[in-house]
């Protein structure tokens, strides 16, 4: 195990760190994060409009239709907002004016999504257009950067206000960007949205399978074990996919249809992260019952944050990072929970995710809200938590034995020091 860690740290980690710092992946990750408030707010309205109480729909009456309006104006523009967010953050890495980049990216995105009668097709502004938004945002920023590097921009005299100068500077690259979108969509009548969705479909299909989700989860956990924020690295790849799958579930739920997808945005945090990545709440519970004073103290300190799915005190304080013993349950626990959750979901024992509560929502409550009040999902949450306690227990006991030996040695040293001090006084 130590040899594996050394090889991973020396050979693999430099490449992973380079990938994690890639400007395009960072821009996609940060840009997609802009959509999070929309999904949470939209989910809140969807939950209120569909509370699992008998007679609730009848009680709302026609007001239920009004409650559904914000859903279309949140989930219905995820692709457009994602495009804007990615253009903003990616342009910052090039030192380009982000506002002009956002405006040009959104304009070209809308044109690429034009309907057959050349009007704005609102049906493609949501998650179905998200991948087109990613490609459009990246292309927009690259074209602007090319024009700036080649000095193909209109420069105004020094006395002109900066906002006006920036606007004129974007004229030539803007004309190229919008002109290119016009040629592709209007003159050539090329359906960019269908093509981009086809290009991304293997990745989307792969992550919506059990093997794909297990591999994705394993990579997150392995990176965390090396001290790298695995969720950030893998999220750059997975977040757009899971967001689109989640939006499909939400749309189906709002129409009263069966939810099509299991592995959607929110699945990982709801069913695999009790207390944070690695489901370390099970480890915290073991620590609270420990004979070791230091572990018990750390467990008490980490419990409040673990309840809200924050476990950096455990990952770096226990530690989990570069710890050959604790890496095993840290990786195994979520993988087993993933398999168990998949089996229970595909057999319709527990409900699928249709809502997106904030990721800091405590366990069990999170499962209840995410599945629209599905009680079996909450029961499985309790069982999952107990399972995580059991999996961590034998590995924790190994570490506890080592820690108790250290504490006993420290106590003996302190007693000897005290005896020497007393003897010197006497």
pLDDT of 145 higher than 60: yes
- Greater model confidence, 178 or 16: 178
DSSP state for residue 13 in the 8-state scheme: H
Would you say 223 and 321 are in contact if contact means Cβ atoms under 8 Å apart? no
Would you say 36 and 85 are in contact if contact means Cβ atoms under 8 Å apart? no
Nearest to 270 by CA among 176, 140, 171, 363: 363
- CA 413, distance to chain mean position in Å, is 48
Q: What per-residue string of b and e applies to 62-90 under the rule 16 or more CB within 10 Å gives b?
A: eeeeeebebbbebbbbbbbbbbbbbbbbb
Q: What are phi and psi for residue 203, nearest 5 degrees? A: -70, -45
Q: Cis link prior to 264 (omega < 30° from 0)?
A: no
Would you say 105 and 90 are in contact if contact means Cβ atoms under 8 Å apart? no
- Greater model confidence, 16 or 150: 150
Q: What is the pLDDT of residues 250-304, one digit of tens each?
A: 989 988 899 999 999 999 999 999 999 999 999 999 999 999 999 999 999 999 9
Q: What is the pLDDT of residue 3?
A: 63
Dump the DSSP string for 79-146. HHHHHHHHHHHHHHHTT--HHHHHHHHHHHHHHHT--TTSS--GGGSSGGGHHHHHHHHHHHHHHHHH
Sign for the CA dihedral angle at 41, 43, 44, 45 comes to positive
Q: What is the pLDDT of residues 59-71, one digit of tens each?
A: 888 888 898 899 8
Global pTM value: 0.83
Q: What is the pLDDT of residues 411-423, one digit of tens each?
A: 677 666 666 665 5
| Two tokens, residue 39 | 């999904």
Q: What is the pLDDT of residues 109-122, one digit of tens each?
A: 999 999 888 998 88
Nearest to 79 by CA among 103, 58, 57, 110: 110
């Amino acid at each position: 195990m130590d040899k594996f860690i050394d090889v991973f740290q020396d050979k693999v980690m430099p490449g992973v760190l380079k990938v994690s710092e890639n400007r395009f992946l960072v821009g996609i990750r940060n840009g997609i994060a802009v959509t999070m408030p929309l999904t949470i707010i939209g989910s809140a309205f969807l939950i209120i409009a569909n509370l699992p109480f008998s007679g609730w729909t009848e009680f709302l009456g026609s007001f239920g239709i009004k409650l559904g309006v914000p859903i279309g104006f949140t989930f219905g523009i995820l692709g457009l907002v994602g495009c804007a967010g990615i253009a903003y953050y990616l342009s910052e890495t090039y030192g380009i004016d982000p506002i002009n980049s956002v405006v040009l990216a959104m304009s070209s995105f809308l044109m690429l999504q034009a309907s057959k009668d050349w009007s704005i097709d609102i049906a493609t502004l949501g998650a179905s257009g998200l991948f087109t938004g990613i490609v459009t945002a990246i292309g927009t920023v690259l074209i602007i950067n090319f024009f700036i590097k080649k000095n193909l921009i209109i420069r105004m005299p020094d006395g002109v206000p900066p906002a006006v100068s920036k606007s004129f500077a974007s004229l030539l690259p803007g004309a190229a960007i919008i002109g290119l979108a016009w040629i592709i969509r209007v003159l050539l009548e090329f359906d960019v949205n269908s093509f981009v969705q086809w290009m991304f479909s293997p990745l989307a299909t792969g992550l919506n399978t059990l093997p794909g989700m297990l591999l994705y989860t394993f990579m997150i956990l392995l990176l965390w074990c090396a001290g790298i924020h695995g969720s950030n690295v893998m999220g750059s790849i997975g977040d757009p996919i899971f967001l689109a799958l989640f939006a499909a579930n939400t749309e189906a739920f709002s129409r009263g249809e069966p939810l099509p997808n299991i592995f959607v945005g929110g699945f990982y945090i709801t069913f695999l992260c009790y207390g944070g990545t690695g489901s370390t709440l099970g480890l915290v519970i073991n620590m609270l019952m420990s004979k070791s004073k230091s572990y018990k103290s750390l467990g008490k300190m980490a419990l409040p944050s673990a309840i809200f799915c924050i476990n950096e005190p455990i990952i770096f304080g226990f530690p989990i990072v570069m710890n050959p013993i604790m890496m095993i349950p840290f990786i195994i626990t979520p993988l087993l929970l993933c398999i168990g959750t998949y089996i229970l979901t595909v057999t319709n024992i527990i409900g699928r995710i249709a809502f997106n509560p904030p990721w800091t929502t405590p366990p069990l409550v999170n499962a209840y809200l995410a599945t629209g009040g599905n009680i079996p999902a909450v029961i499985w949450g309790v069982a999952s938590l107990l399972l995580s306690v059991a999996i961590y227990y034998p590995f924790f006991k190994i570490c506890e034995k080592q820690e108790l030996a250290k504490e006993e040695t420290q106590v003996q040293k302190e007693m000897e020091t005290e005896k020497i001090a007393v003897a010197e006084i006497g």
